[in-house]
Amino acid sequence: MEVKQIQKLYEAMEANGYESLELELGKKNKIKLKLDQANFLEPETLYEEFEEEDDSISKTQIEIRSDKVGTFSFARENLEIGDQIKKGEVLGTVKGISFLDKIKCSVDGRISNIAIQQGGVVDYGRLLFVVEID
């Protein structure tokens, strides 16, 4: 591994709240990265922006989360908050070492939050999108 690659891993860890990362490169070669201070998000901060401003109106939303570990890519370049999406539409992919997992929407609705960036590192359960159900 080159120094630039290690630096990119460190930056990705820092940006996504990982405290440490261990890689095994063959039987004898191992590398362990550990951040001095991890940037963990408190659970309350993940949902602050989704709180209802008007209690009399109840909106139904679903969260789309990753069930794989890998790198995220959008299915289309111009996906934005407010875009209409259909059930079964592919919103993006998670690419790992030996797989490419399509992230599909399970309902008709409108994107109300995009919680991932192009090329972002995802882990199990990572929030990717919030969809307001039509």
Res. 11: pLDDT tops 50: yes
d(CA 32, CA 22): 4
- Do 25 and 65 share a structural domain? no
One-letter identity of residue 13: M
Give the pLDDT confidence of 46-65 residue by residue, as tens digits: 444 444 444 444 468 889 99
Helices (H), ranges, 1-81:
3-16, 43-47
- CATH code of the domain in which 106 resides: 2.40.50.100
Q: What is the pTM of this model?
A: 0.55
Is residue 35 located within the same domain as residue 65?
Answer: no
The reported pLDDT for the residue numbered 52 is 46
pLDDT at 89 over 70: yes
Check residues 71 and 7 and name the one with the higher pLDDT: 71
Structural contact between residues 113 and 49, judged by C-beta atoms closer than 8 angstroms: yes
Cα–Cα distance, 122 to 57 (Å, whole number): 33
Q: What is the domain count for the chain?
A: 2
